[in-house]
Structure 1
C-alpha cells in the first residue's frame, strides 16, 4: 500500500479539518471500495463498523481492523449497526452494467433510502453517499464536466438511472440534523481491484476486446487511494447538500490507460478496432431486444457499457481542489507500478 504521507498528501486545513469521526458505519464493507476505506479510515483514528452479508466477508472485514455487522442493506435492523455512529459512508451498490433489473433498483434505490432513513433515526450527523460519474451517462461524450452539469433526461441504462435516483434519495435526507454529501469518482482502479481489472484481463485474454474507434478518446480515472483521500476530506470539510467529483487529475487517453493496466498483469493489449457508430447501433439494438424480451435475450453490448467505455468521459475537479484542498496523492505512474509489483493482498469480495 502507498503511504499517502510519502506520496505528498496535503494536510487538511481549516476550522472543520480537525473533525475526525469517532465511529463510522460503512455499507459495502466487503467490496473493493469498502475494503480500502476500512484501511484508510481506521488509520485516521476512526472506528469503522462494516455492513456485510456473509461470514467470509465478516472475517475479512475484521482482519482489516473494522467491526463487522451482519445484515442486509434493505433490512430494518441495519439501524442496530449504527448505534453510537456519528457518520455513515454508503458505498454499497449493484454496479452491473447489463440490462436494467429489479434487483439493481432495489439495491441502489431502496437500499439507499433504507440506510439514510436508518442513519437519521440513529442520530448520525453526517452521511457520505458514494455515487458515480455514470449518473451523467447517456451515450454521448461527457467533456470536462463539473458538478453543475444537469443529469440527462434519458440515462444510458439501468445502472446510470438507478444511481441517479439513489443520489436524489440520499440528498433528500439532507437537513434536520443530518448532513448528506455525494462523492462521484470515475473508473476506480488500483491495488486489490476485484471489479474492473479482472474483467478487462478476461476480455483481453479471450480475444473479445477491441478498441472502439481506436480508443483515442480521453477518460478521467480515480485511483483507489485518491478516492479514499477524497472521502476523508469530504468527511472533514465537505459542504452539506453538495456533490464532489474525485479523480486522478488530468485525463488520459483511454487506450493508453487500459493498455497500461493490462501490461501490469502481463496481458498484451488488443490491436483490433471497430467503428463507434457500429458499436452504438449494436448497443441500442441489444437494449431494445432485452426490453422486448423482458431480459430473455441479451445483446453483445449494452448502451450502459458503451456510454462508460466508448466515448470521452472527463471531469473537472476544481470544486474539490478549491473547497476541500484535494489533490491526487497517487499518480497513475505510481499506481501502475504498484500493480506491476503486485504489492496488494488477496481479498474476497462480498458476494
Structure 2
C-alpha cells in the first residue's frame, strides 16, 4: 500500500502519519507514506521527528498547487489523504486570497492528478465550519452549506469540487467534516495551545466577546481514527461527520484551561469579538458511527490534561513558533 498525505507536517496530518508508521491502523501495516507539505507557518518537519528515521517515510517539500510536483507524487499511489489547507479563521478575515488559492485550486489540482493517476481512494479532510452556525440540534451530512468566513467558504468550495469529481468522473472520493481539534503539536495560534502557552508564560489569554460561542471538542487521535475508518471502509462519494462529543462555551473551555494550569480568572482579558463569529457548531455523528463503528475514545478531561502536560514539557517545540502566531485564535 502506498499513501500520499498532503499537509503531513501539520498538526493533524502529522498525527495521521505517525499513527500509520507506528502500526495503529492494521490495514495500513507496512504502508509506504509520502508526505507533501509546503512548510508554511503551520507546517513543521519537527512534527515528524518521531518517525523521521522510518525508511517507509518520504518527505517532499512542495505546493499542492504545483501540478508537476503533485502529478509526480500521486503516480502509483493507492490512497491520498488530503489535509493540506489554510485553516485559521482570523488569517482569512485579514486576507482571503491564500485560502482560495490553496484550499480550492490546490484541492482541484490534487483531484485532477489523482483522477489521471487512477488513485483507488481519496479522502478530503474538511471542517464542520462549512455548515455555518446552528442554534440547536446538530448538523447531518446533508445539511445545506452556509459558510460565514472566507476560510469556511473556501473549504465548502473544496468540498463541492471533491463531490463534483466523484459525480462527474467517478473518482472514489470521501469527504470528512470534523469539529474543533486539540492535542499535542497544534500550532500555538489556535485557542487551546495559545491559551496554555500564554498561561505557562504568565501571560493573559484573550477571550472573544461574551465567551458564549459553543464548540464541540475532538482529540486529534479520535479525528485521525475516524479518518482512518473512512479511508478503509467509507463509501465513495459520501460525506462523514467526525465529532468529539464535548460541547463547551469558550468561557467553559477557558475555565478548564485556567484550572489545568493552576491560575485564576484574573489571567483572562476580554477582547472585541471576531467578525462574523459563528455562535455554535455541532455535528451529528450517527452516520459514521452506524456505518463504520466510529466513536470518540478519549474523554475530554483526560485529553486536555495530557495536552497541557505535553505543552508544559515541550517548550523547545512551541516557543519559536509563538513568534509566527496570530495571537487570538480558535
Matches within 5 A, 1:142-181: 143-152=137-146, 155-174=147-166, 176=169, 178-181=171-174
| CA contact 2:176–2:227 (8 Å) conserved in 1 | yes
What's the C-alpha RMSD, in Å, of the aligned pairs? 3.0
Shift of the 229–256 alpha-carbon distance from structure 1 to 2, 3 Å rule, reads same
Q: Report the alpha carbon displacement of residue 270 of structure 1 after superposing the two structures with TM.
A: 5.7
SS in 2 for 1:48: strand
Partner residue of 2:32?
47
Q: Report the alpha carbon displacement of residue 62 of structure 1 after superposing the two structures with TM.
A: 6.7
Matched, 1:131 2:152: no
**Quick one: distance in 2 between partners of 1:96 and 1:54?**
15
| CA contact 1:264–1:339 (8 Å) conserved in 2 | no
Shift of the 302–339 alpha-carbon distance from structure 1 to 2, 3 Å rule, reads same
Shift of the 52–63 alpha-carbon distance from structure 1 to 2, 3 Å rule, reads farther
Shift of the 338–25 alpha-carbon distance from structure 1 to 2, 3 Å rule, reads same
Shift of the 122–187 alpha-carbon distance from structure 1 to 2, 3 Å rule, reads same
SS in 1 for 2:5: strand
**Quick one: distance in 2 between partners of 1:258 and 1:57?**
27
Partner residue of 1:210?
207
Shift of the 59–190 alpha-carbon distance from structure 1 to 2, 3 Å rule, reads closer
Match of 1:116 among 111, 117, 138: 111
Q: Report the alpha carbon displacement of residue 158 of structure 1 after superposing the two structures with TM.
A: 0.4
CA displacement, residues 217-246 of structure 1 (integer Å, 9 cap, x when unaligned) = 643111101001001100111111111111
CA displacement, residues 188-225 of structure 1 (integer Å, 9 cap, x when unaligned) = 0012222422333467765462364453x643111101
| CA contact 2:9–2:39 (8 Å) conserved in 1 | no
Partner residue of 1:105?
100
Partner residue of 1:33?
12
Match of 1:88 among 59, 80, 99: 80
Shift of the 62–339 alpha-carbon distance from structure 1 to 2, 3 Å rule, reads closer
Q: Report the alpha carbon displacement of residue 116 of structure 1 after superposing the two structures with TM.
A: 1.0
**Quick one: distance in 1 between partners of 2:197 and 2:296?**
29
**Quick one: distance in 2 between partners of 1:178 and 1:104?**
24
Partner residue of 1:229?
225
Matched, 1:251 2:255: no
Question: Does 1 or 2 have the higher relative contact order (CA < 8 Å, sep 6+)?
Answer: 1
What are structure 1's unaligned runs of at least 5 residues? 1-21, 284-300
**Quick one: distance in 2 between partners of 1:187 and 1:328?**
13
Match of 1:73 among 56, 64, 72: 64
Matched, 1:198 2:189: no
Shift of the 262–28 alpha-carbon distance from structure 1 to 2, 3 Å rule, reads farther
> Structure 1 length normalisation: TM-score?
0.75
> Structure 2 length normalisation: TM-score?
0.79
Between stretches 44-53 and 104-113, larger displacement belongs to 44-53
**Quick one: distance in 1 between partners of 2:234 and 2:122?**
11
Shift of the 165–255 alpha-carbon distance from structure 1 to 2, 3 Å rule, reads same
**Quick one: distance in 2 between partners of 1:319 and 1:270?**
43
| CA contact 2:104–2:154 (8 Å) conserved in 1 | yes
What are structure 2's unaligned runs of at least 5 residues? 325-330
Match of 2:275 among 267, 292, 302: 302
